[in-house]
Structure 1
Amino acid sequence: MSEKNKLKKSVEIFSKDLEEVFENRKFVVFLCGPTLDIADKNNAAALRKRLKEELEAEDFDVVLGEDDGLEALRKKFSGMAHENELQFIQAHGNAVVLIASSVGSFCELGLFSHQHVHANARKTDFILIMDEKFKDDVSYMNEGPAKAINTFGKLMHCDFSDFDTSALIDRLKTRRHVWFTSGTGAFT
């Protein structure tokens, strides 16, 4: 290595610090949407499955509430689904990605958007993916929960069958870096 390209000792130490942080920490993405069981016949479910796979390939810890044990815990402790998910997000979530396509996900959107704006926006990212057919609707959903997420997170309208995930993944990778290297993450 040439003298010009040689890393300074302080940069080498910083590099080792970053490597250790990225090896020892996980950025938790709570991924909401339709069950993966219908991914072969439902575009929103197929998108959720694809996002799960792509995020995991980028070393994110992706949690699907019902499929990863949250529902079993709710039943074991006689809890309510919405309280159980909110508690998980507050305690362990770094980001919520919600694919709004069904009654259940629209209910989550209403509750999670309120909670995000009033309690989680400083420590948790929120990305909402909605069908492009709702984009121009003058509705409670657009003027309430979707607007809240667009103001304190990110709203993306799309056709679920051909959604380009790259901007979403890039955003979460940047957020992960900031979280790992700031007051919430590694060096405190």
Structure 2
Amino acid sequence: MNAAQEVGLERIVFLAGPYIKSAAKPRRSTKNRAALLRYGLYHRLQDEGWIVTMGEYEALIHASDPKFGELNNAVLAEVNHAKKESTDAIIMLPSSAGSFLELGAFSCIESICLKMIIIIDAQYEKDNSYMNLGPLKQAKENHADVHFINYSDFDKCWEVVEKYIRKRAHKRIARETLS
């Protein structure tokens, strides 16, 4: 049993970002810093006792089949999972076509944004881009927590993520205690 489980903090985190294989570390030579960051966060979260889910899990899409039937698709499956009360936090690393689409879908739903932290590579902070002026602005309006951090700075990213997810877990425990 790890420390998170010991104090009842084992919770579910949805980790969105560029495609990774959780069992295979990206090559060190990769230029996709977001993939390296997502891989590192995935394993650090697991080591800390968090249950980590990702949108590329085909099981997630298949699990939604009974609910949505022939209308089932990746968007419905991911939004359904993100909105679930059992999903404590969403960590978004927008950096790929799929993760930009996830951000666009999630940014319009306040119940998702209330439990979402978005980390964008610091190099894009000043960009007058659609992402900054559209989905990020909308996510902030819906109370998402937005940070611009260099994707190469794993320690800084982890510090922000850890603080956020612990706060989300504590809020859930407090709600469960009071209800």
TM-score, normalising length: structure 1: 0.75
Aligned positions of 1:174-185 closer than 5 A: 174-182=167-175, 185=176
Mapped partners of 1:128, 1:53: distance in 2: 18
Which segment is superposed worse, 125-134 or 146-155? Answer: 146-155
Task: Let me know the Cα RMSD of the aligned residues.
Answer: 2.6
| Structure with max Cα Rg | 1
* Correspondence for 1:148: 138
Say how many residue pairs are matched.
163
Mapped partners of 2:177, 2:53: distance in 1: 22
CA deviations over 1:110-138 (Å, ceiling 9, x no partner): 110101x2x344xx411111122221112
Counterpart contact for 2:61–2:73, Cα < 8 Å: no
* Correspondence for 1:39: 26
Partner amino acid, structure 2, of 1:84: A
Mapped partners of 1:20, 1:141: distance in 2: 37
Sequence identity, in percent?
Answer: 28
Aligned positions of 1:42-61 closer than 5 A: 42-61=32-51
Evaluate the alpha carbon distance shift between residue 80 and residue 67 of structure 1 in structure 2; reply closer, same or farther with a 3 A threshold. closer
Q: Pick one of 75, 80, 89 that aligns with 2:82.
A: 89
* Correspondence for 2:99: 105
User: Which 4+ stretches in 1 moved above 6 angstroms?
Assistant: none
CA deviations over 1:116-167 (Å, ceiling 9, x no partner): x2x344xx41111112222111222112211233341211212222232112
Structure 1 unaligned spans of 5+? 1-18
Structure 2 unaligned spans of 5+? none
Highest RCO, 1 vs 2 (Cα 8 Å, sep ≥ 6): 2
Evaluate the alpha carbon distance shift between residue 82 and residue 51 of structure 1 in structure 2; reply closer, same or farther with a 3 A threshold. same
Q: Does 1:168 align with 2:149?
A: no
Displacement after TM superposition at 1:67 (Å): 3.1
* Correspondence for 1:8: none
Evaluate the alpha carbon distance shift between residue 20 and residue 81 of structure 1 in structure 2; reply closer, same or farther with a 3 A threshold. closer
CA deviations over 1:85-130 (Å, ceiling 9, x no partner): 1111112322111110011111111110101x2x344xx4111111
Counterpart contact for 2:117–2:164, Cα < 8 Å: no
Counterpart contact for 1:131–1:158, Cα < 8 Å: yes
